[in-house]
Structure 1
Amino acid sequence: MARIMAFDYGTKRIGLAVTDPLQIIATGLATLHPKDAIAFVKKYIETEQVEAFVIGDPRQMDGSDSNSKQHAKGFATLLKKNFPTIPHHWVDERFTSKMAQQSIMQSGLKKMDRQNKERVDTIAATIILQYFMEQRR
């Protein structure tokens, strides 16, 4: 089996997560600047098979698209252009950043480590991917 790769897209940072080859466990992979994301994915795919992309769908509390949706759509278009054979799926990302922050708070990390925004983005991508995997089961 191939891996599934998830993205928590932001205009400053993108959190990435992947499954193991058996698609049992979601693990944080990296946090990147958006301009570096496509090159990173290309390099990753040279050594690992990726079956699908999962992109966090930015939504308002009432379920409508958030202001960030246009940026996430642009990123999804770039993925489709560069990796036309890999399907992508949208997953509602409401609360994932808050869940990631709570997870970090409960982890026992030192204050400086808890304030690392890159860690929040990677964990949010992992939560998005875990949710997608649970929905598929």
Structure 2
Amino acid sequence: LTHTLIHPQVNRAKAEHEQKDANVALHLVEKTKDGIVVDGIRLLATQAAITDEIIVFPSTVKKAGEKDDPYSLAFAIPNHTPGLKFFCRESFDYGKSRYDHPLASQFEEGDAIVSFENVFVPWERVFILENSDVCNRAFR
């Protein structure tokens, strides 16, 4: 299992809906009778390339009421879900000695940026949807 915790850090002084391109952050696109469709970017999926599932934890959103609702969500889906992509970062170690870099030369977290391109999430996999109050209180 891997996870995402936060939206991309574009302009921290603004709420997600106030960003120049408010569609960068993961957000709700559509609700259907079978589930939801989401689109956007989330950070930081540790070991994403070798896991089977991803859980999107609720992010703390600014208190802007209904304008935050499209960004207020939590769910879990398989990593092979159509439209889901992982962009893994390179290792911090570039062939340096094990003596100088004992952990990075042998063990790498393998963090990734997660791209959701119109990804369908069935209702039974949705935990939070359009509730910024719950998202803001999730980690208290």
TM-score relative to the length of structure 2? 0.29
Larger Rg: 2
Structure in which a larger fraction of residues adopt strand: 2
Q: Return the structure number with greater helix share.
A: 1
What TM-score, normalized to structure 1? 0.30
